[in-house]
Structure 1
Amino acid sequence: MKVLWRRALFAAGFVFLVIGAIGMIVPMLPGTVFLILAAWCFARTSPRFEAWLLNHRYLGPSVRRWQETGAIPPIVKLFALASFVGTLSGTWYFGAPPVVLGVEGAVFAALTVFIVTRPSG
Structure 2
Amino acid sequence: MKRGFWFSIGLLALAAAVVGVVLPLLPTTPFLLVAAFAFARSSPRMHKWLVEHAVFGPFINDWRDHGAISVGAKIWAVVSMVAVFGISILLGAPIIALSVQVIVLSVVALFILSRPSGPAG
Query: Tell me, which stretches of 5 or more residues in structure 1 are unaligned?
Result: none
Name which of structure 1's ranges 63-72 and 6-15 shifts more when overlaid on structure 2: 6-15
* Alignment correspondent of 1:111: 108
Structure with more relative contact order (C-alpha pairs < 8 Å, separation 6 or more): 2
TM-score (norm 2): 0.79
Residue 13 to residue 104, structure 1, CA distance change in 2 (3 Å): farther
Superposed structure 1 runs of 4+ greater than 4 Å apart? none
1:66 aligns with 2:63: yes
Shift of 1:39: 0.5
SS at match of 1:24: helix
Q: Is the 8 A contact 2:59 2:70 kept in 1?
A: no
CA RMSD of aligned residues (A): 2.1
Question: 2: CA distance between counterparts of 1:111 and 1:46?
Answer: 30
1:21 aligns with 2:38: no
SS at match of 1:116: helix
Cα displacement string for residues 52-82 of structure 1 (whole angstroms, at most 9, x for unaligned residues): 2112233222212221222122233233222
Shift of 1:6: 4.7
Query: Matched residues, percent identical?
Result: 37
Query: Tell me, which stretches of 5 or more residues in structure 2 are unaligned?
Result: none
SS at match of 1:30: coil
